[in-house]
Structure 1
Amino acid sequence: MTGHDQARWIGRAEQAYEEALSSGDPRDLTHALSVLRQALAATPLEHPDGVWCRLSLATVETYLFKTTADLAVLNDAIVRLDELTRVLPRGDVDRRAALVNLASALADRYGFRTEPADLLRAVDAIKEALVTRPHDALLLTNLCILLHDHYRRTSDPADLDEAIDTGERAVDFAPPGAGYRHAALGNLGTARLSRYRLRADADDIEDLEAAIALLRQALEPLPPDTLDHVVLLAKLAEAWRDRFTARGDPADLDRAIHSYRLVTRRQLAHRSADALTGLGNCLGIRARTTGSAQDLDEAIATWRTAAAAPGQARMRFIAAALAATNLSEHGRSAEAVEDYATAVGLLPLLAWRGLDRPTREDLLAQSAGLGPEAAAAAIAAGEPERAVELLEQGRSVLWGQLLDTRTDLTALRDAHPDTAARLGLLAARLDTPSDDPDDRRRVADAWDVLLDHIRTLDGFGLFLLPTPFGQLSLAAARGPVVIVNVSRFRCDALVVGVDGVRVIPLPALTSEDVTRRASQCLAAAERLTREGHRAARQTIFACLEWLWDVCASEVLDALGHTSAPPLPEGGHPRIWWSATGMLTYLPLHAAGYHDPDDERPGDTVLDRVVSSYTPNLRALAHALRPDPATPGTEGLLVTAVPTAPPYAPATGPLPTAAAEADLIEAHFTGPCTTLIGAEATRSSVVRAMLTHPYVHFACHGGQDLSDPSGNALYLYDGPLRLTDLITLDLETARLAVLSACETALGGYVLPDEAVHLGAAFHVIGYRQVVATLWSVNDRTAPAVALAVCENPRNAAEAVHRTTRHLRDQHLDDPMAWVPFLHIGA
């Protein structure tokens, strides 16, 4: 290409670029994008206009994302700017421009995807640009808002203090009349607003008043309807709302509503849900304050519009959830079902696969209780099967994502073998997530694109979409699954059978009582691990009796299990429990009156049925899959760590672990591999798990209720964490016995996600898992383990029979028999 041709392309690109940035019209931006790409193709980096072409193209792509919410163009801009920061020399003015633009693009993607690495990279980019210009007010302005976003993610006051300090310096260094002074004022006002909220002192609103003053000052020089005006006006609307909450002046709430209305007329696509949600919030507040039905209806309509907007998934989810919960709170549950369905349907986007697991858990914590609420609304609307479907979608989201990657691809492989092979490779990469956020994003994007393609193929339109009830009901092939749904609106048992759902109302059960009892029981169980505390024992027995009265007896009576059956051992009917919310921390399998002095023989779950658990229906259906019965896969792996690992100082020795291992090895009828002490390393255990369908662990377990993904089995050289386990896919696995503490206990903030070791073993392939809800009793754990070893194909019956026997022997010690439970088929 001649120099004349290059000059012509550059000239066209410059004209298109200026017109696009001036108008902000998506059509002009799209045209500029096309022209700049052609100019870039004809202009190598070393050309005098090579850097300009790349910077300009990235700028247009970033603006286009703001108007279309098209992540592909934003991703392209980030890659382009990142490349420039690597090839241009330090101190180069163009490199500094690339760093600033890169930080802005990364911040936009963080706001849309909530990937923490994007925010950290943005902060680093601005700080690097500041090295050569430490008093640059524009750079300080950008850093202020990034640090503020970092505070919102971490809740660390130090981050907020740094943001405010940076913002104050930006305002000090920004001369009057500077084109960016409004941004400096607005960002500082935003940070001051957050500090007011952090202190939550209605009597001290100095920061709030300062925020309002700063935001109003920032707005003064800006023409209405410009992008910067819209962004600042939305933040001012938040401040007006907060001042109404603090002072109760209706004029402030009216100002907030008026401001939000103006913003919604001009809000850009990538933030379109934000202002609509904010407007709905203010209308909802005014409806509660004045009793206005009109305001409530407008709030619902506004939230619904926000939920359907192309904005970030988190805000769309919040909007749909607000519409649903407000309708339910006003007794309009039937109307709320579709809004709940919208919110539940957004959960896969909220907890997108491209995010790391801790971030997905943090985001899902915002949806706690939503699935049970959705089910309650559907029950109230007379749609029990829909209730089961919504509950299945709204809980165990992380396990559902894992099960998606382990779906049976036989039909797809037969019809489209190449596509199935590509999906299988992507599934393997998703199961072993990279520490590189860009790599995670690329794999997750590729997975989403390929799924969209598969659903266009004949016969695969519903591939990996939410499972309909007809398929979910297959989980009840061996007996009823009793989903105990606990919500603040109502509580019910949903008895799932192969032919449908039966609703058993539980009017005496309330979410408040469940939370209180769970908290009491966990504290009592903790006390009993340290000392024989009579009051703690009584707390647990009182809880078991309460569980019987408000839940278990209602369910068993309705199912016809009205008394202890006059059958020999092993002849009890069987049911599966699937609890929701804080009820997951309580032992439904042990509910009842166990003290003979109560003179209520047979009024216990143990005396009437054999109980199993499942985190959700899909997991149980997965466990019921045909056993491949691969030749040579009958072996048992026994792992025991009798001494306290040095990396776990809070643990003590387990003198019975070695004896338990010897006992199991002596009674197992097939081949057995035993790893004890120094032999029980992480690598040796994982390697052995691949070839042994039966596994038994006698070791300490680590449980962090605030960070359940860190739950682990303590092996000799390090913890085998839950996050390590989920990278495994053990198709021939059959039974895992976890003779360790609290292996069936999930986290406080994610009770419906069942993030515990028992569920992890279950989902990675083990059809049956024997786990513990609370701490293990060293005296009785070997008895349970031995019974299961002698009857490994029916571990549920073995656990049931043994715990009944242990109860009769240790009636005054609930820790001797209550914690043991069975998960799976």
Structure 2
Amino acid sequence: MTSRQNELEEAAEQLNKQHLELCQVFRRTSDVAILEKALGCITQAIEKTASEAFACSGTRAAHLTNLGRCQTWLFEATGNIVHLDGSINAASLAVQTVPESSQLVPICHVNLSNALAQRYFFKGVKRTDDFDKALEQARIAVATTEEDSEYFSSARSTLASRLAEYFNYIDRDDKYMDEAIQINTELVEKTSENDELYGVSVVNLSADIQDRFRRYGKIEDLLMAKKYSTFAIKAFPPGSQYHLLAVRRYAEAVYDIVDTTGETKELEAAIEGLNALELKTHNAQDLAKIHHEKSRLYEMKYRNFSDPKDLDRSVQSANAALNNLSDESGFLGIVLQRLSNVLAVRAEMQMSLEDINAAIDYARQSADVVSGILAREAVALNALANRYATKFELFGGMQNLKDSMAFRRRQLELLPEDHKDRPMRMHALAITLRNYFEQYGSILYLDESIVLERNAVESLPKSSPERPMVLDGLSHSLSERCKITGDTHDLQEAITASEAAVDGLPSGHKDRSAFLNGLSNRLNSRYSKFKNRDDLDRAITAATEAVSACEGGSSSYYIYLNTLSSCLHSRFEAYQDPSDLDKTIEIARQCLHHTPISNPFRINALSNLGLRLQTAYFRATEDEEKLRYLEESLHIAAQCVDQTPKDHPSLPGFLSQLAGRQLFLAPLMHGATDEELLSQMMLAASTYEQAFNQTYDTPLSRIRNGEFCGYIYMERGNWENASRMLMTSVGLFRRVSPLSLNDNDRQRQLHGLSGISSLACACFIAVGNPEKGLEVLEAGRGIMANIAMGYHTDLSDLRNADAQLHNEYIDLRNRLSEPLPEIQMGPSHGEDIVAERNADLVQFEALESKIRDLPGFETFNRSMTAESLRKLAVFGPIVAFCTVDQRCDAIIVTQAGIEAIRLLDLKNSDIKVQISNVVGKSRLSLMAPSRRGVANKKMRHLLEWIWDKAVQPVLEHLHLLGDEELPPERKTRLWWVTSGPMGLLPLHAAGKGSKIPLQNTYAHIISSYIPSFASLAFARQCQEKVDVASPAMALITMPHTPGGLNSLATEDESQAIREVFATSSHINVQLRELCQPSAEVVFHHIRDSNVDMLHLACHAEPDFDDPSNTALLFGSDPNATEPDQLPVGHLRHLHTSPRSNRRPPRLAYLSACCTAQQYDLRLIDENIHLASAFQLCGFPAVVGTLWEADDAAAVEIVKAFYKELFRLDRECREGLVESQSGYHVARALDYAIGLYRRMKIGRGSAAMDALAWAGFVHIGA
């Protein structure tokens, strides 16, 4: 080396020493200006060693290493990533420059590893390139270090740090943390306690074990981490950086111990340790870190001992930390967030608007400090969003919640698409959106929450430690939406997400109990819908595990207990094991006992106990026991009402519970006078009415309360009040189910509403107003069909007339159908939510008025008026029955008016008995062939009963009982409205049979059926489009049905139709035959082909629990294990779906079993069956069967029907007869059945085999 080079090397070394001295000063003072001077010195030192002579020297590599460290400290002090990039460049050059034989090789790789890892965490991108390189450099550092090297421990410690970081932030595979802990454990064991590296290794080992605790929640890990942190404290002299770090690690461990176990005995010692350290620390940055940790501990102390002075000390410590920092400090943002956080806690404690505003201000300052540093700014915005959320919780105000949401959105916008934190930021926004929905009920926010959670799940690798949390959030949001819409697809997805969340966490993980609790709730919900025992068993198992794994006495413990109680209650209701009910009551009492009076959720615990006691009341058999349970639950219900503020979302439910228990008390009031009993019932009615009058409650809940109130009034003969309550309840029907629901879920919402309109109608009839009674009756029937037809008329017309009004109407109607959220009894939330709901109600009414001002929309969303009902009787009378426990009436509609006749001999209880002869699994048509005679005898008795009790009085009132049996052309047409119990019976076949010919319905009228008046109007609209010229039929037969069903003798029926078509006088008659088609092919012919008549000879399968799944059965392969189903639900909206300009359909002839029968009596007003579904497809006329068709009768009736239909069509075309719209189909069927009745079958008359002919019916115009 030349003398010049020696001079440069010496000068460089002097500059390096100056740099080191300045760095020491900076470490004491945190003065960034001094650090910048140090940077200048080391930069000059490197410039002096820039010649070729120093290209591969250890000296230059050492200076580059120091430059990298200095740049790192500058980055940490200022947050400027330019310095971090400079650190990486310097470290990379050092790696390239250092000779392979130099002892500095490992430390060069260590520094590069540290800088790359730091940049990865700062940028936060999903791509792990920087960190992968950092891990690689750490492994190279270890590989290039001899065990006796002074850098051996440093290299291995760096590798352990990278492995722990990889486990914590990238891949939760245990092998990474296990290797990190193993390395640090070996270092601790092999390093002398006098060596500084011993203390460093102990600090790192403590940190790794504490990270493992945060992963698995094992308390022994936390205690071990604390133990090692105490070793580290002793290993370093006070005042050193590592001593400070060790004391902070100890404080963090104590904080976590208190947070996890509630054990506070070392809390004071941790604070004292920080106080002692404070006295010996002079570096402002270090002092700030000490005060920051003290603030956390004082806050924890307040949370456990509730001493406001500790909270004040926490605020003071946070302020002290802030005062020790310069504006350039990289720690400034963290301290501002700490101060903001603790002020928010104090604001909650003191209900202090001043503190929460200050907390928001500091959160804003924190965001300003880190503005432009994307990862840190996103964290700061998250804190700001949290502060506004707290302000909302304390003081209400929609704007605060909106501001919280806005900052969540901003933080998400800041992060690039590939940022590793983006999924969790989406998750945070999703939670806020869900909270907004829970407070204000707009399902649009819940929809967005679900989209965000799904995107977050998709963005996270399956190994991500955060994925289970996001999956749980997705499950929560889906579950909430299912509660609103009843959509079972949401529930299924929610359960799948919950299962994945639980599976993503090992046993013992601290979050696993919460996820198990969520899974239990979802499984219990699915059990309540589908009654699958396995769901219930799994729900109980999950809840039990959640309770067992949770610390007893914590708030979560009682939440999980309550979930277990709900599951046990479900099991009790299903299997009636008294021990399950006893457990639920015990748990409810335990939860109530441990919930402080000041806790806003206490009232929910109180209500829950009341519900469990009410169940015990229902189960008890002795009056004394029943009274004991009921009185306690009644007292609890009264407490809930008294403790709930006016206009609180929970008030209607509590009032309804109170009313029910007041009503239950009446039968147990032994020895009470009639006046006292009446007073008790009126008290219940008054409470129900009070609940009903909470107009912000959901329509479904209000309807229920109105029904109970009205029924009590009816029982007391108070028809005026009863009619008022019940009419208003029926008026809410159209708001019950959001239009966004699919039909299966809408069915579930409408279950049990059938019959309410009949109660209202009976009240109006009782006060002499049958017109109003019929209006109400019609308004409450056929809701699902009206929605299907409404899509084609009112709503589609509105969309065409004013798309904006249409969208506003749909959104608002859906919002009003959603239940209000369950919230705590805070001073402002309920008022905010109810005010919002009331404003929606006002807006909805104004919107409907606005729509009705549009030309042609005067009757928008209004049920048919008496005048429009009368107009439908233009072609013949229409008869509807109103049957309730108090009275039975027939409502007769003619063009002259609307009348009601009292059917004194008809009892509602008798109707329910007779229905079993034609509906359900014990219907007469299912009796064995050997008992056919017995079945027919019972059927003839049924027909006589219908005649005597209902049909004969109606025909007599209409003066339709003549002295001779009329031929079809002279008979009056009459429509029977089938909604309601009487509509299930064969009214058209009622009578005394062939022995007394004139006492039969068919002797005097041609009967047609129609589900409702609206359906009749719809059918006639469709009929007007029909062209009877050139008929085209699709003959669809299924002689052999997959799934092992009995073969059908369809060939005789097909041949009869072929003969009729062959002899038809129509010029362009077409007959297309499809034998053994798939459901898809049939669906195409119903929807798209230019056939105007469909004839289906096939099996049908009723679904007793879900009528929308009642289906026609098809399939091209008779040997297949399952038939190809075409269910009602697929047909209902076909008329409204987009399609080509096909020929308007005329007739669907369903020669299959039970195609015109309703099976779910809870939906008796809905008429959900195959025949009505075809009508909604646009077929104005449908021929169906009330029970299984008789093969021989089917052939004869089909042949005579089509022959007569074509004859009538021909005479109409030739002008020989005048015909009203739709008359031919009804008359042809009446003729065909009459012809069959007159046939001889063996030795007897076919008329005696009522089961063979009485099942065929005409439905439609």
TM over 0.5: yes
1:616 is displaced (CA, Å) by 0.6
Deviation at 1:571, TM superposition (A): 0.5
Residue 791 of structure 1 corresponds to 1205
Aligned pair partner of 1:475 in 869, 872, 876:
872
Give the Å deviation of 1:506. 0.7
Question: Residue 695 of structure 1 corresponds to which residue in structure 2?
Answer: 1094
Contact persistence 1:637–1:694 (CA under 8 A): yes
| 1:177-576 paired onto structure 2 within 5 Å | 177-200=553-576, 205-224=578-597, 226-245=599-618, 246=620, 248=625, 250-264=627-641, 265-266=643-644, 273-290=652-669, 292-307=677-692, 308-407=694-793, 416=801, 455=851, 458-459=854-855, 460=857, 462-521=859-918, 523=922, 525-527=924-926, 530-531=929-930, 533-565=932-964, 568-576=967-975
Unaligned runs of 5+ in 1: 427-447
Whole-angstrom distance in 1 between the partners of 2:391 and 2:862: 43
What amino acid does structure 1 have at the position aligned with 2:1128? L
Partners in 2 of 1:716 and 1:673 — Cα distance? 24
Aligned AA for 1:806?
Y
Change (3 A) 1:667 1:297: farther
Residue number in structure 1 paired with 2:360: none
Distance 1:156 1:390 in 2: 38
User: The residue matched to 1:283 in structure 2 has which SS?
Assistant: helix
The answer to whether residue 510 in structure 2 is matched with residue 137 in structure 1 is no
Structure 2 counterpart of 1:743, one-letter code: T
C-alpha displacement at 1:311, in angstroms? 4.5
**Which shifted more, 92-101 or 399-408?**
92-101
State the distance in 2 between where 1:668 and 1:683 align: 30
Deviation for aligned residue 1:681: 4.6
My pick for the range that moved more, 710-719 or 626-635, is: 626-635
**Which residue does the alignment assign to 2:998?**
602
Alignment of 1:43-54 (within 5 A): 43-46=413-416, 54=426
Which residues in structure 2 correspond to 1:561-640 (within 5 Å)? Answer: 561-565=960-964, 568-596=967-995, 600-625=996-1021, 627=1023, 629=1025, 634-640=1030-1036
Question: Structure 2: 5+ residue runs without aligned partners?
Answer: 1-366, 670-675, 812-843, 1117-1123, 1136-1141, 1207-1222, 1240-1245
Closer, same or farther: CA 811–163 of 1 in aligned 2, 3 Å: same
- Is the 2:1026–2:1145 contact (alpha carbons within 8 Å) kept by the matching residues of 1? no
CA shift for structure 1 position 418: 6.0
Q: 2:1150 aligns with which of 716, 738, 744?
A: 738
Structure 1 or 2, whichever has the larger Rg, is 2
SS in 2 for 1:612: strand
Higher relative contact order (CA 8 A, sep 6+): 1
Tell me whether 1:101 sits opposite 2:473 in the alignment. Answer: yes
Asked whether 1:64 is paired with 2:436, we answer yes
Q: 1:760 aligns with which of 1169, 1173, 1191?
A: 1173
Partners of 2:388 and 2:400 within 8 A in 1: no
Counterparts in 2 of 1:9 and 1:715: CA distance versus 1, 3 Å: closer
User: What amino acid is the match of 2:1092?
Assistant: P
Assess if the C-alpha contact under 8 Å between 2:1048 and 2:1098 holds in 1: no
Deviates more, 1:759-768 or 1:74-83: 74-83
Q: Report sequence identity in percent.
A: 24
How far apart are 1:514 and its partner, in Å?
A: 1.5
Residues 648 and 320 (structure 1), Cα distance of their counterparts in 2 relative to 1, 3 Å cut: farther
Change (3 A) 1:330 1:67: farther
- Corresponding position of 1:4: 371
- 1:726 aligned partner, one-letter code: R
CA contact (8 A) 1:69 1:270 kept: no
Q: CA deviation at 1:21?
A: 4.0
Match of 1:41, SS state, is: helix
Say whether 1:805 aligns with 2:1219.
no
For 1:627 and 1:186, locate their aligned partners in 2 and report how far apart those are by CA, in whole Å: 58
Question: Once the 2 structures are TM-superposed, how far is the Cα of residue 785 of structure 1 from its aligned partner?
Answer: 2.5
1:14 and 1:819 mapped to 2: Cα distance? 71
String of CA shifts for 1:467-509, please: whole Å, max 9, x gaps.
3333233322211100022222221110122343100111111
Q: Secondary structure at the match of 1:740?
A: coil
Shifted more, 520-529 versus 121-130: the winner is 520-529
CA distance in 2, matches of 1:469, 1:560: 23
Evaluate the alpha carbon distance shift between residue 259 and residue 134 of structure 1 in structure 2; reply closer, same or farther with a 3 A threshold: farther
Name 2:401's counterpart in structure 1: 32
Contact between 1:634 and 1:692, CA under 8 Å: does it hold in 2? no
Against the structure 1 CA distance between its residues 572 and 678, is the aligned structure 2 distance closer, same or farther, given a 3 Å change threshold? closer
Checking the alignment, whether the CA contact within 8 Å between 2:1079 and 2:1113 is kept in structure 1 is: no
**Residue 620 (structure 1) shift:** 0.7
Write the deviation string for residues 684-743 of structure 1: whole angstroms up to 9, x where unpaired: 444444412233333333334444323333445344432333242278222222223222
* Contact 1:17/1:32 (<8 A) preserved: no
Secondary structure of the corresponding residue to residue 488 of structure 1: coil
Secondary structure of the structure 1 residue equivalent to 2:1191: coil
SS at match of 1:180: helix
- Which residue number corresponds to residue 1257 of structure 2? 821
The match for 1:78 among 442, 450, 454 is 450
Query: The residue matched to 1:222 in structure 2 has which SS?
Result: coil
Q: Cα distance 1:86–1:382, how it changes in 2: closer, same or farther (>3 A)?
A: farther
- State the TM-score, normalized to the length of structure 2: 0.59
The structure in which a higher percent of residues are helix is 2
For the Cα contact (< 8 Å) 1:337–1:374, is it kept in 2?
yes
- Distance in 1 separating the partners of 2:717 and 2:1026: 55
Change (3 A) 1:103 1:521: closer
Deviation at 1:55, TM superposition (A): 4.0
Question: What is the one-letter code of the residue matched to 1:570?
Answer: E
Distance 2:437 2:395 in 1: 9
Quote how far apart the aligned CAs of 1:632 are. 9.5
Counterpart AA for 2:414: P
Structure 1 counterpart of 2:1149, which letter? V
| Secondary structure of the structure 2 residue equivalent to 1:477 | helix
How many residues end up aligned between the 2 structures? 797
Supply the distance in 2 between the matched residues of 1:713 and 1:51 (Cα, whole angstroms): 47
Aligned amino acid, residue 790 of structure 2: D
Q: CA RMSD in A?
A: 3.5
**What residue is the counterpart of 1:445 in the other structure?**
none
Alpha-carbon distance, 1:39 to partner:
4.9
Cα–Cα, structure 1 residues 296 and 172, in superposed 2: closer, same or farther, change >3 Å?
A: same
Is the Cα–Cα contact under 8 Å of residues 634 and 693 in structure 1 kept in the other structure? Answer: no
> Partners in 1 of 2:626 and 2:1083 — Cα distance?
63
Question: In the superposition, relative to structure 1, how do residues 266 and 162 fare at CA in structure 2: closer, same or farther (>3 Å)?
Answer: farther
User: Structure 1 residue 408: deviation in Å?
Assistant: 6.7
In the alignment, what sits opposite 2:1111?
712
Match for 1:771 among 1184, 1202, 1205?
1184
Compared CA separation, residues 98 and 273, structure 1 to 2 (3 A): farther
| 1:576 Cα deviation after fit | 0.8
How far 1:457 moved relative to its partner? 5.2
Q: CA deviation at 1:347?
A: 3.5
Contact 2:889 / 2:903 at 8 angstroms: preserved in 1? yes
Instruction: Report whether the alignment pairs 1:169 with 2:545.
Output: yes
Q: Structure 2 vs 1, CA of residues 256 and 400 (structure 1 numbering), >3 Å: closer, same or farther? A: same
2:1008 counterpart SS class: strand
Residue pair 1:455, 1:462 contacting (<8 A) in 2 also: no
Q: Residue 106 of structure 2 corresponds to which residue in structure 1?
A: none
Number of the residue aligned with 2:335: none
User: Is the 2:378–2:415 contact (alpha carbons within 8 Å) kept by the matching residues of 1?
Assistant: no
Structure 1 distance, partners of 2:433, 2:952, is 62
- Alignment CA distance shift 1:251-1:666 (3 Å): same
Matched to 2:684, the amino acid is: A
Give, in angstroms, the shift of residue 298 of structure 1.
4.1
Instruction: Look up the SS of the partner of 1:697 in the other structure.
Output: strand
Kindly indicate whether the alpha-carbon contact (under 8 Å) linking 1:324 and 1:340 is maintained by their aligned counterparts in 2: yes
